[in-house]
Copies of this chain bind each other. A is one copy, B any other.
Amino acid sequence: MSYAAPIQDMRFALEACADVWRLRERYPELDADLLAAILEGAGALAAETLAPINRSGDRAGVRFEGDVVRAAPGFREAYEAFKAGGWQGLAADPAYGGQGLPRAVALAVMETTHSANMSFGLLPMLTLGAIEAIEQHGTPDQKRLYLEKLVSGEWTGTMNLTEPQAGSDLGALTTKAIPQADGAYAITGQKIFITWGEHDLAPNIIHLVLARIEGAPAGSKGISMFIVPKVRDADGARNAVRCIGVEEKMGIHASPTCTMAYEGAQGWLIGEENRGLHAMFTMMNAARLNVGMEGVAVAEAAYQKALAYARERKQGGGLIVQHPDVKRMLTTMRAKIQAGRAICYACAVAADAGDKAMEDLLTPLAKGWGTDLGVECASIGVQVHGGMGFVEEGGAAQYYRDARITPIYEGTNGIQAIDLYGRKLLGDRGEAMRRLIGEARGAAEALGGAVGDRLAAAAAVLEAATDYMLAAERDDALAGAAAYLVLAGDVAGASLIAQGLARRADAEQRALLGFYAQTVLTRADARLAEVKLGAAALGI
């Protein structure tokens, strides 16, 4: 088995669909040659170093001994190679050793990492979140202390949000922070589901922790964010934070999911007091996009594996790839993956371009639609394999197990739907969504033909759904929010591919869009019916 970065599809999505070249003024150093070199280098690392330890990492898992977590065999060498390549700092500030490239390019690189080895990819993904939080909210001292080592990958980072009683509802968290004479805080509490919260691949781990300063208001307005290094800066002593448990999970076995105990650990306030949720949201938005990308990435890996199997498995006197139903499954995967990829890249390009409204709108689409796609494609991948799909040796099963976390973490897809409705749609009274719809209409017109007509019709349905959501009572809107997110993702994906075709003719991508139009966009009316379901229909 092998993974190869789908460079052509990636470049079509990044250059033609997401129009990365409109960033040229902001990032003059990026050109086509550099982009190609980066994607090929990342693809090579993914194929040669990360993919070969994906299955072995799944089997071995991590080992939890005392309060030490040992990574799976081969992960140390792989992480050294990742660091040595400078991949962690691709989009980071050059002042701290980063390369200052667009986040969209870093995201495309992360796609290859996640495809090759989702467990591994979580480590740099979390570090990236810590880098962005400190870049945006840290004091000059904090930046000086932490950024360089995070950007180089020497140290890694984590996000500590969830507590046993506070999952999606962060306002309920109870971890305490007590001010100390030296300006630090003593952090006490327990955090669960902390990805790569403890491990032996780096000498220090920088935890970004949400906690309440003594006397802070109740609820979400009394939460602050703290930097809690595993090894204390001043004296190099081990901080009072340790891993007290590692979850036994269905998938991503090589990624330790830790329960972290803070017992008066030394922490430093980052950002303003009681504005921790605000600071965390900047991390979370990037993380959500990254998780959406993870969904697309695992879908791509599942697709490649299924395609390879179908091309070598004989049955009924031929290869199963010749069977119409197998072709249908493979084409479904490929067409939807390309749409999901375009949404994720477009979200990142919007962020790079400073188009905050579009970044905000596309983030829940990337996360929700991209991760639903991951689960769907991983399941189809199992199906293509037949009985071998259910046997662990076949490898398809791992994608099915791994992918299942993506619609859950960084805010369940239900939370994404609420975010799309409550923050994004109501936040600007639908302005950004109308812009997206307008772009879809424009792309449909430029495309023309039956496929253009289907896209235009779906865009009109999305507009009707948007009008409904804006006018509906809150509970009715929430009953339809998940379907609304799916509909918006369906249209956005097709629109971006159509926009890509306007920028670059490509017969294969056009054919895939035709397939997508007939199998996805045709559901628009049905999605609208689900959007309009209403709260009363749920009272059964």
A residues at B contact (CB < 8 Å): 162, 165, 167-169, 171-172, 192-193, 247-251, 314-317, 323-329, 331, 334-335, 375, 379, 382-383, 386-387, 389-393, 397, 400-401, 404-405, 407-409, 412-414, 417-418, 475, 478-479, 481-482, 508, 511-512, 514-515, 518-519, 522-523, 525-526, 529-530, 533, 535, 537-540
Q: List 13 A-B contacts (CB under 8 A).
A: A162-B387, A169-B315, A248-B392, A248-B393, A249-B390, A250-B392, A251-B390, A328-B533, A331-B540, A335-B540, A379-B404, A390-B408, A525-B525
- Chain B residues positioned under 8 Å from A386 (CB to CB): 167-168, 408, 412
- Going nearest first, the 9 A-B pairs with the smallest beta carbon separation are A325-B414, A324-B478, A327-B538, A522-B529, A250-B397, A522-B526, A169-B316, A523-B526, A324-B479
Choose one: B168, B475, B511; the contact of A540 (CB below 8 Å): B511
| A315 contacts B168, C-beta separation under 8 Å | yes
- Chain B residues positioned under 8 Å from A391 (CB to CB): 247-250
| B390 contacts A405, C-beta separation under 8 Å | yes
| Docked pose: A412 CA to B324 CA in angstroms | 14
| Docked pose: A407 CA to B382 CA in angstroms | 10
| A168 contacts B316, C-beta separation under 8 Å | yes
- Chain B residues positioned under 8 Å from A383 (CB to CB): 407-408, 412-414
Q: Give the interface SS of chain A, mostly helix, strand, loop or mixed.
A: helix
Closest to A515 in B: B537
- Chain B residues positioned under 8 Å from A540 (CB to CB): 331, 334-335, 508, 511-512, 515
| Docked pose: A325 CA to B415 CA in angstroms | 9
- Chain B residues positioned under 8 Å from A249 (CB to CB): 390-392, 397
Having A249-B390, A325-B414, A515-B533, one finds 8 other A-B pairs with CB under 8 Å, namely A172-B315, A250-B392, A326-B414, A328-B479, A331-B540, A383-B407, A383-B414, A518-B533
| Docked pose: A540 CA to B389 CA in angstroms | 24
A173 to chain B, nearest CB (A): 12
| Docked pose: A393 CA to B391 CA in angstroms | 22
| B404 contacts A400, C-beta separation under 8 Å | yes
Choose one: B390, B393, B475, B529; the contact of A324 (CB below 8 Å): B475
- Chain B residues positioned under 8 Å from A382 (CB to CB): 404, 408
- Chain B residues positioned under 8 Å from A324 (CB to CB): 475, 478-479, 481, 535, 538
Knowing A379-B375, A412-B383, A511-B540 touch, does A325 contact B481 (C-beta < 8 A)?
yes
Knowing A168-B315, A249-B391, A390-B249 touch, does A325 contact B522 (C-beta < 8 A)?
no
| B327 contacts A479, C-beta separation under 8 Å | yes
- Chain B residues positioned under 8 Å from A418 (CB to CB): 325
- How many copies, total? 2
| Docked pose: A192 CA to B530 CA in angstroms | 44
- Chain B residues positioned under 8 Å from A401 (CB to CB): 250, 401
Interface centre among A316, A325, A383 (most CB of B within 10 A): A325
- Chain B residues positioned under 8 Å from A481 (CB to CB): 324-325
| Docked pose: A211 CA to B529 CA in angstroms | 53
- Chain B residues positioned under 8 Å from A479 (CB to CB): 324-325, 327-328
- Chain B residues positioned under 8 Å from A323 (CB to CB): 414, 478
- Chain B residues positioned under 8 Å from A171 (CB to CB): 316
| Docked pose: A523 CA to B487 CA in angstroms | 13
Closest to A162 in B: B387
Choose one: B387, B518, B537; the contact of A537 (CB below 8 Å): B518
Closest to A318 in B: B169
| B417 contacts A389, C-beta separation under 8 Å | no
Closest to A418 in B: B325
| Docked pose: A409 CA to B263 CA in angstroms | 52
Interface centre among A192, A250, A383 (most CB of B within 10 A): A250
A64 to chain B, nearest CB (A): 14
A522 to chain B, nearest CB (A): 4
| Docked pose: A249 CA to B326 CA in angstroms | 23
| Docked pose: A535 CA to B519 CA in angstroms | 14
| Docked pose: A456 CA to B405 CA in angstroms | 39
| Docked pose: A404 CA to B525 CA in angstroms | 30
| Docked pose: A179 CA to B2 CA in angstroms | 47
- Chain B residues positioned under 8 Å from A526 (CB to CB): 522-523, 525-526
Knowing A169-B315, A169-B316, A325-B481 touch, does A533 contact B512 (C-beta < 8 A)?
no
Closest to A475 in B: B324
- Chain B residues positioned under 8 Å from A379 (CB to CB): 375, 379, 404
| Docked pose: A317 CA to B393 CA in angstroms | 45
Interface centre among A251, A383, A475, A482 (most CB of B within 10 A): A383
Interface centre among A324, A407, A514, A526 (most CB of B within 10 A): A324
| Docked pose: A76 CA to B247 CA in angstroms | 31
